[in-house]
Amino acid sequence: MRTAIFPGSFDPITNGHLDIIRRASLLFDRLLVAVLVHPSKPGCLPFADRADMIRRVTADLPNVTVEQFTGLLADYATSQGARVIIRGLRSAADFAYEAPMAWLNGGLGKGLETLFMLTSPQYAFISSSGVREIAALGGDISRLAPQALENQIYAACNRTE
């Protein structure tokens, strides 16, 4: 049973995240999407809502599970039987941010590998922060985030369309 973990803030999940989840779910027996709960960084959407939203839009993917976690990713991944961490790459800037994290996680002695998946080009410009900002200003997020979640995102970002 090969388990991979896709950790992130997912505040909120975007079409770019969903694309990575779909593609990664084809490569592993089980994909655990793990929402990092960072109590000092509450963000926009409540942590439990972020996980529920991911569950709703991945309901058609039987080998995807969604959980929240706190603390060290390396410890959590190991406790879940995952030896592979999936991260998405949109740009060289992502690589510059991600590479040291991968080296740090790999160096924690748990046999963890980080696999980078290149974003599909149509999602390369999408970020959670962009979705939050556009939603807060009442802009159109229909191409950026799953449509089933739009109302919830607008409500959480405190504006109506």
- What residues line the site for ligand ADP (CB under 6 A)? 8-10, 14, 16-17, 20, 87-88, 90, 94, 119, 123, 126-128
127-136 core/surface letters (b: 16 or more CB in 10 A; e: else): bbeebbebbe
State the nearest-atom distance from the C-beta of 21 to ligand ADP, in Å.
9
Q: Which is nearer to ligand ADP, 80 or 160 (CB)?
A: 80
* Beta partners for residue 87, in sequence order: 116
Q: Which is nearer to ligand ADP, 126 or 153 (CB)?
A: 126
Catalytic residue among 9, 17, 25, 87: 17
Give catalytic status of residue 90 as yes or no.
Answer: yes
Catalytic residue among 22, 56, 90, 110: 90
Give catalytic status of residue 56 as yes or no.
Answer: no
Give catalytic status of residue 41 as yes or no.
Answer: yes
CB 112 within 8 A of CB 79: no
CB 10 within 8 A of CB 132: no
State the nearest-atom distance from the C-beta of 138 to ligand ADP, in Å.
22
How far apart are the C-alpha atoms of 65 and 118, rounded to whole Å? 22
Give catalytic status of residue 17 as yes or no.
Answer: yes
Q: Which is nearer to ligand ADP, 1 or 142 (CB)?
A: 142
Strand residues in 49-90 grouped as ranges (E): 64-69, 82-89
Q: Which is nearer to ligand ADP, 97 or 107 (CB)?
A: 97
How far apart are the C-alpha atoms of 91 and 82, rounded to whole Å? 26
Question: Which amino acids are annotated catalytic?
Answer: 17, 41, 90, 128
